[in-house]
Amino acid sequence: MSEAFYSHARLYDLMFPGGGPAVDFYRADADLHGGTVLELGCGTGQKLIPIAADGRSCFGLDSSSDMLAEAQRKADERGVEVEWTQGDMRSFDLGRTFDFVFITANSLLHLHEAEDLVSCFRSVRRHLAPGAPFVFDVFNPSVRVLAGADGVRRTRESLAFMDPDRGNVSVDVAEIYDAPAQVTRGTWFLSTDSEPDFVVAPLEIRSIFPQELPLLITLAGLRLVERFGDWRRQPFAVDSPLQLCVCR
């Protein structure tokens, strides 16, 4: 349901410019574990391109050809080599193992069914070299925030951006929370003064609650060895923004 959203790869990078503590975190981890790196749901390579620029051998998998085309363009521009492949993280076989596998920026939450999450974790397990870690981050769902998703269209001031081709772009979002499915179903509207709603795209994101998360991991034969609550590696707590998980 979110493919249309990711067909606007250039706009994605303008809206979510990347950089910051998430890139620093994954670069440091890739450095620590060395060897080869695999990112699933790699998008336009916001994390993988800096890691490859550090000299790591990098592999990125994503289901969106548009995101991958933009990733390739950016890697070429930077003179960095990354192997990009189109695929579905729910089930994949790259025919090799990696020393570090990660999924970041809530990419995992595009898998809505518990079976799909477990199937993804099983595929990850098959791609881990002996002793290699699998790290992922998803947001820590707040019942208060989820309950506030009332379907009303609101402007997200913090996401407004300047598109060199179009000018100032505003971003509105209308969301409802489907509690039985644990999925927030949103519609994103991008507008300029002269072109209202030039993008209208659905974006649907699951919540993984703290108690179910280790169970899903265990069902795939992996073990949750550490759960941080933020990019500074603070322990996971009730008000942590993130569930930043290290599995083996």
Ligand X SMILES: C[S@@+](CC[C@H](N)C(=O)[O-])C[C@H]1O[C@@H](n2cnc3c(N)ncnc32)[C@H](O)[C@@H]1O
Residues interacting with ligand X, by CB under 6 A? Answer: 6, 18, 41-43, 46-47, 62-64, 67, 88-90, 104-107, 110
Residues in contact with 28: Cβ distance below 8 Å, sequence separation at least 6, in sequence order: none
- Nearest Cα to 63, choosing from 6, 13, 131? 6
Residue closest to ligand X when measured from CB atoms: 43
The CB-of-181 to ligand X minimum distance in angstroms stands at 16
The CB-of-74 to ligand X minimum distance in angstroms stands at 11
Nearer to ligand X, 192 or 203 (CB): 203
The CB-of-146 to ligand X minimum distance in angstroms stands at 18
- Nearest Cα to 84, choosing from 116, 50, 41? 41
Separation of alpha carbons 131 and 6, rounded Å = 33
Nearer to ligand X, 61 or 132 (CB): 61
Nearer to ligand X, 73 or 152 (CB): 73
Separation of alpha carbons 178 and 176, rounded Å = 6
The CB-of-244 to ligand X minimum distance in angstroms stands at 13
The CB-of-162 to ligand X minimum distance in angstroms stands at 19
The CB-of-111 to ligand X minimum distance in angstroms stands at 6
Burial of 176 (C-beta count, 10 Å sphere; 0-12/13-18/19+) = middle
The one-letter amino acid at 155 = T
User: CA torsion angle for 57, 62, 66, 72 (degrees, to 10)?
Assistant: 0
CA 161 centroid distance within chain: 20
